[in-house]
Structure 1
């Protein structure tokens, strides 16, 4: 069974996906007014710059979006002042606005409709010609639209496929009406798009969705009510949903660079300023006498694990993989096949390029939300930002969960907390905010800053002699102010 966990706290949305109890995807998004991939806007052409083949578009936000000035647009005679629908295909970065496209599309569980496309195409994972013919007979072509059939359609009835096509077609028709009759520039489709898109793309025949937010629960209930074998559950606990279901522990493990392989080898994942680099090592895989077989075995297993880790850590941009050198071209074919298969669930977001002469493989993956590193880590101030430490906001959340768990289990209200000395300046600078964030304004806290620990430690204090030994670290409750 697939389990989807959706946790929303303040301005942060986290979604984790488990298959058969194993974590395989994790999405993290800051909730802000900035445009997100997949949202659709009504925009107005502000400027056309042929020298850089770009069109700049006002979409009702502070930064103008930009779009490639394609041959089709030139032939169409697009000009300054024209209004059009555009879809966000790349989020804004620094001073650069969002990149957009005229090829707007809306996806459902079984289908994707693209305005301006044509014909019916199928997911590469649908191999049955009989199934393709069955689905084609249901859909028929729609003039001015391209239809992409998703993998889940093979499990759907004729009625389900037809109804979804009509629903999406009606949605796009509404967007065209907004373009023609609304005077306002801005977003016309995509409220809560990240949550809806992840849920739609990851539903399967048997699925359970657990959410902690009432509004999200209602929205997803409306989305999945028509499907059988999809169970919804509302989490009501005080601890964060990810902590209660032990997902937090699994996420923390993703900070480790080295990932062991069952064969005895390992992969090492490093982040540079420009890209991610993944190195494959045979390490302890020396049990066999056949050197070529050992290399092949390690590379094959590494390819599977690399695909898994790219999706799990949400790595994006340029990714370089350094496999162990192979002499036989047929071995490279097999390794490439395994790598592509491991990334096949990424729904068209990733490209894998052939081996170079140095046995390097280049992967390009579209950015979608934060990588696990961006979410967990921040530059270390004590080493002039040359290293990384856990974000204090993340540590506060972990400590809060520890405190709540202790209260639930034994009603303890006194705690000794050790923090890495990296955090001393920021915590002492606003001790009230720290106590508030860990839900400890009404508790007895002993706080110490030390070197050589990974982040933090929390110890419940049960006996008076413990408190007496630690009295030098006791925090006097600061004045409660707004």
Structure 2
């Protein structure tokens, strides 16, 4: 019998950082982090100014006041969807210097600016309001046709005389008419405020920002499985309870204050789990392990048996390890928020029944999350290709940066390699400048190698060049840093 899922949410209100942890049956599944200096901007609405039109790319760059100009493709322009023309060009819809009301679809990532759309959408608890549309859609997660038709009828009734379209969210299924009506009224008030502000706001300015994280948690993550939300801020508890009372009063009492001395993220070892999610190696309970590598192009996951020898034969050991790996892979993708192309190198299985069982197990595990994904058939080499939709930065990108020692290579030159580079540079400088003496300024480990482990190297160079050579340690130098001073 399957254990019923029970979800708990922990919210940590830091001075300059907000963190939320979603746990299912006491196991961490998702982490959300928002920093004051770089708060999420997906969903923000701006009054933008077109600064460059690129017909060859069918796109335009729009200044919305951020560090990098944002990107607007023709397919994300409402007018292009309404046009009957077979072939459409970006120049048919925008021109340089034009002001537009735009919304951010994707955060800036790396060297890429934000992705924009003119198809504005404003979400609330039960519906998403589309000011530029006129139809009504219902979440595909609501499968019963009679329920879908009833929802559409209710929305039509409550939006009569109001302009715009709507998409009913999954949470609407168990709400009452009063809450739905309040939701629609709230969204139209927000839209009117945006329009009023756009009239007087300068170009490249923010018109509307989404809810702060602690309120977005209530709007986006609360469903029938959530049994408790703990928050370590009294002010936020009061604000969240007011939000609940205004928009879904049936959930009053869900939010409680966590006031213990022990940090809230120490509960269920959340801090430890976050730290583990930044490591390459993920240990499986059986003794096997995963190796996860994230690159610009894709994410690769390698499955290994490790110390697992529990099955009766080798083929069964491989099969059980791969099966266990599917559950861990799905959780790690969700926890680390990894997206794009993902290549999984399962341990080779000759039995096609075993191969299909592993694919089916991965599909079942991925269904527990909410992100869209596609999974291809397993190749003869045991490789499985899949994609997963990601709408925010991965956990690694948020919490980590490129290593200053290896510059992202994942390795550094050996001490011996750097020492030989230093010697070659000494000879080059000696030939060019004809100095009377030379000083090598380097890291401690390079100095130790040249003076203690291999002192003959410097002695031979001194004898060859006929000049004295000394070394000096700079404690702030990384292994591959050095300078040659000539006198």
- TM-score clears 0.5: yes
Question: Following the alignment from structure 1 to structure 2, what is the Cα–Cα distance between the partners of residues 115 and 330?
Answer: 51
Question: Following the alignment from structure 1 to structure 2, what is the Cα–Cα distance between the partners of residues 340 and 180?
Answer: 49
The 1:328/1:79 distance shift into structure 2, 3 A limit, reads: farther
Over the residues paired in the alignment, what is the CA RMSD in angstroms? 3.7
How is 1:181-192 mapped onto 2 (pairs within 5 angstroms)?
Answer: 181-183=200-202, 185-192=204-211
The answer as to whether partners of 1:56 and 1:64 remain within 8 angstroms in 2 is yes
Residue 466 of structure 1 corresponds to none
The 1:295/1:239 distance shift into structure 2, 3 A limit, reads: closer
Deviation by residue 1:110-149 (Cα, 9 ceiling, x = unmatched): 2223343453333343232332233223223968744333
Residue 195 of structure 2 corresponds to 176
Question: Following the alignment from structure 2 to structure 1, what is the Cα–Cα distance between the partners of residues 177 and 319?
Answer: 45
The TM-score with structure 2 as length reference comes to 0.67
The 1:129/1:298 distance shift into structure 2, 3 A limit, reads: farther
The answer as to whether partners of 1:8 and 1:213 remain within 8 angstroms in 2 is yes
Structure of larger gyration radius? 2
Question: Following the alignment from structure 1 to structure 2, what is the Cα–Cα distance between the partners of residues 155 and 54?
Answer: 42
Residue 363 of structure 1 corresponds to 387
Residue 333 of structure 2 corresponds to 310
Question: Following the alignment from structure 2 to structure 1, what is the Cα–Cα distance between the partners of residues 198 and 366?
Answer: 37
Deviation by residue 1:198-233 (Cα, 9 ceiling, x = unmatched): 332111234422223455434423322243234222
User: For 1:318, what is the secondary structure of its paired residue?
Assistant: strand
How is 1:277-316 mapped onto 2 (pairs within 5 angstroms)?
Answer: 277-282=300-305, 284=308, 287=311, 291=315, 298-316=321-339
Residue 137 of structure 1 corresponds to 153
Q: How many residues align?
A: 387
- 1:162 and 2:181 are equivalent in the alignment: yes
The answer as to whether partners of 1:265 and 1:285 remain within 8 angstroms in 2 is no
Deviation by residue 1:239-292 (Cα, 9 ceiling, x = unmatched): 54323664212322324434344666543322345432112345536625694x
The 1:146/1:320 distance shift into structure 2, 3 A limit, reads: farther
Residue 251 of structure 1 corresponds to 274
How is 1:74-89 mapped onto 2 (pairs within 5 angstroms)?
Answer: 74=89, 77-89=93-105
Residue 107 of structure 1 corresponds to 123
The answer as to whether partners of 1:29 and 1:370 remain within 8 angstroms in 2 is no
The answer as to whether partners of 2:50 and 2:97 remain within 8 angstroms in 1 is yes
Residue 346 of structure 2 corresponds to 323
The answer as to whether partners of 1:285 and 1:298 remain within 8 angstroms in 2 is no
The worse-fitting range, judged by mean Cα deviation, of 169-178 and 9-18 is 169-178
The 1:336/1:171 distance shift into structure 2, 3 A limit, reads: farther
The answer as to whether partners of 1:84 and 1:179 remain within 8 angstroms in 2 is no
Deviation by residue 1:392-431 (Cα, 9 ceiling, x = unmatched): xxxxxxxxxxxxxxxxxxxxxxxxxxxxx99xxxxxxxxx
Question: Following the alignment from structure 1 to structure 2, what is the Cα–Cα distance between the partners of residues 329 and 177?
Answer: 62
Question: Following the alignment from structure 2 to structure 1, what is the Cα–Cα distance between the partners of residues 53 and 171?
Answer: 41
Question: Following the alignment from structure 1 to structure 2, what is the Cα–Cα distance between the partners of residues 361 and 199?
Answer: 34
Residue 449 of structure 1 corresponds to none
1:39 Cα offset (Å): 1.7
- 1:57 and 2:73 are equivalent in the alignment: no
Question: Following the alignment from structure 1 to structure 2, what is the Cα–Cα distance between the partners of residues 261 and 33?
Answer: 35
User: For 1:23, what is the secondary structure of its paired residue?
Assistant: strand
Question: Following the alignment from structure 2 to structure 1, what is the Cα–Cα distance between the partners of residues 196 and 367?
Answer: 36
**Alignment partner for residue 276 of structure 1, among 291, 299, 304?**
299
**Alignment partner for residue 342 of structure 1, among 365, 369, 378?**
365
The 1:346/1:50 distance shift into structure 2, 3 A limit, reads: farther
Question: Following the alignment from structure 1 to structure 2, what is the Cα–Cα distance between the partners of residues 326 and 132?
Answer: 44
Question: Following the alignment from structure 2 to structure 1, what is the Cα–Cα distance between the partners of residues 137 and 369?
Answer: 17
1:324 Cα offset (Å): 4.1
Question: Following the alignment from structure 2 to structure 1, what is the Cα–Cα distance between the partners of residues 278 and 241?
Answer: 34
The answer as to whether partners of 1:295 and 1:326 remain within 8 angstroms in 2 is yes
Question: Following the alignment from structure 1 to structure 2, what is the Cα–Cα distance between the partners of residues 204 and 34?
Answer: 25
The answer as to whether partners of 2:109 and 2:393 remain within 8 angstroms in 1 is no
Residue 210 of structure 1 corresponds to 230
The answer as to whether partners of 1:110 and 1:153 remain within 8 angstroms in 2 is yes
Question: Following the alignment from structure 1 to structure 2, what is the Cα–Cα distance between the partners of residues 19 and 211?
Answer: 17
Residue 223 of structure 1 corresponds to 243
List runs of 5+ in structure 2 lacking aligned partners.
1-5, 82-87, 412-443, 446-487
The 1:257/1:182 distance shift into structure 2, 3 A limit, reads: closer
The TM-score with structure 1 as length reference comes to 0.68
User: For 2:154, what is the secondary structure of its paired residue?
Assistant: helix
Residue 28 of structure 1 corresponds to 33
The answer as to whether partners of 2:319 and 2:354 remain within 8 angstroms in 1 is yes
1:100 Cα offset (Å): 1.1
Residue 475 of structure 1 corresponds to none
Residue 137 of structure 2 corresponds to 121
User: For 2:249, what is the secondary structure of its paired residue?
Assistant: coil
List runs of 5+ in structure 1 lacking aligned partners.
389-420, 423-482
